[in-house]
Amino acid sequence: MTRFAGKRVLITGATAGIGWAGARRIADEGGELVLTGTNPRRLAALRQALPEAQVIADDAADPDTGRAPADAVAEGGLDGLWLNAGYADIGAASELDAEFFDRMMRVNARGPALQLARLSAHLNEGASVVVTSSTATYEGSPMATAYAATKGALVAMARGWASALADRGIRVNTLVPGAIDTDFRAFMPDRTRENFEHDVLGRVPLRRIGTPEEAAAVALFLLSDDAAYVTAAQYAVDGGLTRR
C-alpha cells in the first residue's frame, strides 16, 4: 500500500507505543514523517530506525510546545497531524492536589491545544488531524478522575476543531484506545498494573489486550484519504470495552 505517498505527516509522542507503530507503517506506505518526543535516548533510537524522518524534541508540557514542529513544516505544510503525546498517572480523588492535576492538564489538554493552534496554519487543504484520547473518558474509574478529565477535554476540543477547520476541507477525528500493550502504564507498581490489566480483561468482550499496531491501523485509516468523509467522529479501539 502507498496511501501516504507524497504526503507529510507529523506525529507527536512518536517514540513508543501507538505513535511508534504508526510511524513505522506510514514510512512503509511511502509517507514523509515529522516525529516528536521528549526522551533523548528514544529520540536517538527513532532517528536510527527511521533515518528519513525529521525527528524533533518537543515537550507537550512546555508553553512553547508546537513552535519547533511548526518551524520545521512551514515550507510544504502538513497533510496529516496526529496529536498523540500524552501522560498518565492515577490517584484517589480524595488525594488530588493542584500539581498533580495541573501537570496532567498541561500535557494532555493544554499541550495538544497549543500544538494545534501553532500548526493549524500549516495544515494543507484537505489535511487530516487525529487526536488520541482514551476509554478512561467513559469508564468512570475511581483512580483516574484527573486523567479521564484531560482525555475528555480532548474529545470536546476535537469536535470544536472539526467545526473550525471544516471550511478548509480539514477533518478532525478522535482515536479512543482502550487497553493497549504499550509501556503507558509503566509508572504503576507491578502488582497494581497486573490487577488493573486483569480487571480490564474481565470487562473486554474480546478477552485480550490490543496491540499498538491494531490501534495505529485505525489512526492511519483516519489520517488517510480512505476516511475522506469522516470528521468529528470518535473511533474506539478497545475490544468492545466501552461498547461505543
The reported pLDDT for the residue numbered 197 is 67
The reported pLDDT for the residue numbered 93 is 94
The reported pLDDT for the residue numbered 189 is 61
Chain Cα centroid distance, residue 51: 22
CA quadruple 187, 190, 191, 194: dihedral positive or negative? positive
The reported pLDDT for the residue numbered 182 is 77
- 147 classed as catalytic: yes
Contact indicator for 55, 38 with CB cutoff of 8 Å: no
The reported pLDDT for the residue numbered 140 is 92
With b for 16 or more beta-carbon neighbours within 10 A and e for fewer, the 163-188 pattern comes to eebeeeebbbbbbbbbbbbbebeeeb
The reported pLDDT for the residue numbered 99 is 97
The pTM of this model reads: 0.94
Distance between CA atoms of residues 111 and 88, nearest Å: 14
Annotated catalytic residue, options 87, 138, 147, 235: 147
* Domains of the chain by start residue, with CATH: 8-230 (3.40.50.720)
Contact indicator for 26, 48 with CB cutoff of 8 Å: no
Tally of CB atoms within 10 A around 242? 17
Distance between CA atoms of residues 68 and 12, nearest Å: 12
Per-residue pLDDT of the chain (244 residues; tens, 9 = 90+): 799 999 999 999 999 999 999 999 999 999 999 999 999 999 999 999 999 999 999 999 999 999 999 999 999 999 999 999 999 998 999 999 999 999 999 999 999 999 999 999 999 999 999 999 999 999 998 989 999 999 999 999 999 999 999 999 999 999 999 989 876 455 556 665 666 667 777 889 998 899 999 999 999 999 999 999 999 999 999 999 998 5
The reported pLDDT for the residue numbered 243 is 84
The reported pLDDT for the residue numbered 206 is 92
